[in-house]
Structure 1
């Protein structure tokens, strides 16, 4: 309205200016006669000048003056008329302006009769004009904050409003939004493009419009909630259904369709398929008519299987709804729980400990027969579920509780178990001389479980045991032998002063119950033999095969100890040490003299003859009969007989191999061994030797790695003896290799020989034993899983030397052993040199 008034004022000023310009134009028109006259008027002018006795110049001046005077008068008259007309126009315009102002005020009053806010943007102008009651949205007087929609709207409506305003200003798209402010007021926001301006009107809803907006809000919320509930019902794994007023199926979910074996939900509704059988369905319908709600656990056939469901139904509107929840597992668990509880009750009844369970109301919920017999209570009294205080009062009256100066305080302290978190243990000493161990355990549901044990005999045994222990301690402390007892956990439990003195140990350190490995570390400066200490550790920590192990220890200080490991019944192990240095010195001297008188060669010859003539013949007979019995033609054998026959065959074959090895060694030693020379295929020979140890490789999970040049060819030698050499080397390597290890066998040709190399990753050979590995009956069993007669390496050296070759051993303790056999390729040259 203010714009209209300003326009009217501008119009009035324009009219005044126009009037002034008109007067100026009239004055200019009056001066036109002053312009030079036309040619035909010159005679008249001259005549007038002559009449007035004026020359031409004076005449011109006179006429000019008269013209100016006349025109001045005319101009004055016209100016007065113009001013009067302008005054009239101005008065009329002022009257119109007043009318427009009144009309504008009336329209403004009408426009803002209700609280609202107007926001307008002119075309090309980003500065909005804001008018109206801004307190409708903001408490403080800051109109520009209206455009920060997030200050008075929740995030989602604020974003919606922001996008609508942007679309209005950029594309002229109108909008009408119903909004709810952060403080709960209902608003209407309308945007329109009018006269090149974007105008947004925000007003508070009231009356019918407010109710309509709130109804729309509730309708939208109910629609969303309904869609959510329908989605939940459709996806629920439980059958859900709804029926109309006439009892027909109006809704079902996918689980209902599966349960009724329908093709789809629509098929179940069209066919009116029912989940329950007719009897249960009739009961449900009658119950719904009477009480409007139905709950029962019913059997339902689902997928051909009879299962238990919890069925819930209720009347809703003019129809009913229902849901069936699978309770088969819960039913089975409940039955299992009841069976378990009954089993626990039967178990508790068999316990020797008295058990009494009081519930959260402190009343007796369970007791076993041991509890009744311990306190000699009447079964009728206990079956009446008495409270805890009544039981204690009865026991006190019968003088079966400990004598207390303040029984009330003692009972209150005992009943603190109902509010406790952890179990409590106590011992009651009864007037009749008995001692009863009492354990009070709080139950999760608020009750208490009492456990009573008569520990009278236990305490008496403990006293007697303590006396016995003291006697044993005095006995051990006065023994000359060193004694130490290690428990099943490997820790020292008992020792006497002789043990500490013999091994120069600190008694204070031994009282800390060190482990056997710690004691071993303390004793190693005097005796550092790993094998012996391992035997002692195994005797102390072994679980099975606990037997006495006698040992002899030669310490670094020159003393000799006789050690014995004695397993004890409680899982402990007793170690005894006796100093036998003097006895050992005498025995060693006698042994050395006796060994000097023996002749090893004569013993070997006698043994060979004995084996040859006394053992081989009956052994061959046994092997023959074993093969005869194993032949199916002889007749079937029972499984155990076949098993035992297999053991006999394996043992006799092993024994025959040992005898053959001994005979071979004796034959070689006597110079009677001859070689059956021929062409030896090196690759086939290696394969034959490897074939003989395949079972041991598989048993010990050892990999055999063979490295042979495909073109290595052959050489002249006794093929059978070469196979025997390689077999013994491989067997020895496998025996000393740990499980999951690798044994290597390689062959290479040099200028004059074939070199076989066998490598293992075993413990290696100590330097003091290395020179004895090729001796007869020398079995280096340290680190080997297979024990033998100690003839394998002796045969290896003998057969290799018969071929004119040589054997060498390279071994480092802890890094394995490598045995190298060098066979000459020119046997003729070797025989010539030998001769």
Structure 2
């Protein structure tokens, strides 16, 4: 019983142990199964990952057999993976033989030495690029020294690399071209780092700053542009970098010893630095200054024109108007401070009455504004309400503006009207002239004529209306001349007046007995005037005048012979009478009683007076005949007049007259005939003595005028004369006792004095007033 219980316990323990062992075995088996399933899943996953990876493994054993994924056959263009490495090349498929040989050699080297290798292969007939990297396989993978070759398909990467290489090559070429362009650029260019220091400069920069090479200039930090207001070029570049925008400025710099104006631009390049370049705009500035000077000169010149000129810009605003334009349109100075637009200018001109009257002014103004868009110049005539006529020319400009030219043609129209009136007046004047006239052009064609011309030459009006040339006209004229060859002289006169610009003339005789005198006169307009005058009657009168002139010449010769004869015939008997009277007075013929001596004295007095009268008559006759001889000499005027007065001392005493002689040596000298000038002045003094009552006064004054002539004044305080009596006295006549007729000649004193003084180149003037006396004014050269 006890045994059974122990056995049962042992059997229970054995069963329990067996059960526990079975349970442990079951659990262990289950764990191994799970690990196997996990490993299988991992292997499938790894296999799948290998298939999906861009690299495929190729295991090459020492005997040449290979193991590889089926995908490799697709990459190589084979139907399947072969058993040996040498079978990877087939005709038209697989690896090229040379590449397969290189692979085989590399694999053998790796199997022997364990050295890895790299190579690139391209299957036959494919664009696929394969990268092969071989290593010695791990013994866990394949014991026995197999080689593991990893094959990568880098076709896409290769395309990208090719593209990148092409891009890089192109970039290098572009960069080289850009660098070459920058170096060859004629303008200075540079690059600054983010701290403002120069890093790169081109050759133009080096030349501008006078450096040796670009590296030296960049290292030295030589600046092209000077500091302006304490701000250096590097500070301006840093400002552009901080603001993230370019800065442009106009500065002056010294380049090649000359001050040049540069347009400097600093351009930030992200955070890498600042690029800069300088453009020499000195020529542009000079051109701009020259253009400004030209524009000022042009506008100054436009101000001097009589025509009004205005310029409008593309926005229709007035940009310039010269003084005549402002005057024509009555623009006030205030309007030019803020120049009005074109349409506003027309409004101002309309308010001032300086545009034509229009029924619809807004529509008219809009029409004129269309001038800006016309393709060619427009010209209009504007008659204003005050009678002014304006010529307006609107010329569109290429920049969209407008040039407006306004010319006041009022005076021209008036002159044209006056010219038309003058032409009509000239035509009417020509027709009313007593002379016949015609006008010829330089080509010899007749331009104008009057009716008298056709009548004198016997020409038809219809023929003259054809404006014939001179050759045709001469044919008609020659047929009416007494000698037809004389017609050529008329043509020569016309030619000389029109072409030679000379005035000539001539005379022809017509077949009907008339005589015509013609002359050619050059006119200012280049034409020639032919005047023709019928001198038939005047020629007859000229003949008569010639005959009368011959008679007068003969009479003048008779008068000359008469004067010469009378000078001898008058003086000889008178001299004989005087000589015999002097002999009787001297007692040659015996003693005379008192009465006889008285008679002899009267005879001598009468002889002297008669001799003086004969001298006066002869001098007056010779002077009027132009035959008076003068013995000219220089005379001191004051002593000469004093001597003439002394000869009449007794007459002054007898008439109880007071003499006032005024003068000094300042009266100077005169050139005269002493005897005849003394006789002329003596006659004037005698007349003064005769006209002055007893106790009267006679003034004789000598003076030298500013014009160098000598003046002698002889005046008295006698009764004087009215103008009529003065005229008769100068003529030497007086009124008879009845008062209605001239009784006789009053005397030869005044006429002779006037003739003698005139013969000396002087003048005599008598001034007299009734009750005021008479004055004789003598002027001598």
Q: TM-score, normalised by structure 2?
A: 0.41
Q: TM-score, normalised by structure 1?
A: 0.38
Say which one has the larger Rg.
2
